[in-house]
A and B are shown apart, each in its own frame.
Chain A
Amino acid sequence: DSGVTQTPKHLITATGQRVTLRCSPRSGDLSVYWYQQSLDQGLQFLIHYYNGEERAKGNILERFSAQQFPDLHSELNLSSLELGDSALYFCASSVGSLFSGANVLTFGAGSRLTVL
């Protein structure tokens, strides 16, 4: 158990629907990152939050949005789902923002989304 909790672990839904993925970072970690990994593909960075504020945006579609709440948990909202959105969605957390030493990312187990 990495200490980063993601729910749900698996989710099957239909095209056009909307889903919310949830992440609780490790205790003491202020940063949350969201990544998408399609089958046999590399990690695609979506977005980074630090202590409730958005710090960096990657290749995140306009149909996707995220936020980090005062208790530091984060949610990733995916709407108007398409078949191509089927992927593993990972949340990772770290202690610092960007500039604190190695700032190693600890990943959650992921949420596997299947869009039919």
Chain B
Amino acid sequence: GQNIDQPTEMTATEGAIVQINCTYQTSGFNGLFWYQQHAGEAPTFLSYNVLDGLEEKGRFSSFLSRSKGYSYLLLKELQMKDSASYLCAVRDSNYQLIWGAGTKLIIKP
């Protein structure tokens, strides 16, 4: 079966750095996505990785290792507004998106 694992919940301090991990086992791989979702709101796109390595976009970076079936989302200089759920999704060999359950990130002052 296809599986994506993310921690259920993480807590971090305002101004700090946090790394949210995502491991996947899917039928093939055609890209990995990270989305942010505030409670009760729509998910919004953060990043896309299809090749190994780090993609940096402002305070957010996403890393991919295809050989290890592993990705992480790195959030720097955390702000209270970063409190949200972070969803990892993998596009499989059929180009279908497989979604993780999401990681709820709690930011404390």
Q: How large is the interface on B (under 10, 10 to 19, 20 to 34, 35 or more residues)?
A: 20 to 34
CB within 8 Å for A110 and B42 given contacts A42-B100, A43-B87, A102-B48: yes
What residues of B have a CB within 8 angstroms of the CB of A109 in the complex?
A: 41-42
With a cutoff of 8 Å between Cβ atoms, the chain A residues found around residue B87 in the complex are 42-43
Nearest opposing residue in chain B for A91, CB measure: B42
Q: Which DSSP category, helix, strand, loop or mixed, fits chain B's interface? A: loop
A107 to B100, CA, bound (A): 17
Whether the pair A90, B42 counts as a contact (CB closer than 8 A) is yes
Q: Can you name the residue of chain B whose Cβ is closest to the Cβ of A88?
A: B40
Bound-state CA distance A40–B29 (Å) is 27
Check A51 for interface membership: any CB of B closer than 8 A: no
Residue contact B44 to A107, C-beta cutoff 8 Å:
yes
Asked if B96 is an interface residue, CB under 8 A from chain A, the answer is yes
Label chain A's interface by main secondary structure: loop
Instruction: How many A-B residue pairs have C-beta atoms within 8 angstroms? Tell me.
Output: 44
Alpha-carbon distance between A102 and B102 when the two chains are bound, in angstroms: 20
Closest residue of chain A to B96, judged by CB?
A56
Q: Is B33 an interface residue (CB 8 A)?
A: yes
Cβ–Cβ < 8 Å partners of A25 in chain B:
none
CB distance from B34 to the nearest CB of A (A): 11
Which of B42, B99, B101, B102 makes the CB contact (< 8 A) with A2?
B42
Contact of B42 among A102, A104, A108 (CB under 8 A): A108
Interfacial chain B residues near A43, Cβ < 8 Å:
43, 87, 99
In A96-116, which residues have CB < 8 Å from any B CB?
Answer: 98-99, 102-110
Which residues of A pack against B, CB within 8 Å?
2, 41-43, 45, 56, 88, 90, 98-99, 102-110
Q: B-side interface residues toward A, CB under 8 Å?
A: 31, 33, 40-45, 48, 50, 87, 91, 94-97, 99-102
A-B CB proximity, top 7 nearest = A98-B95, A107-B42, A42-B101, A102-B48, A43-B99, A104-B45, A107-B43
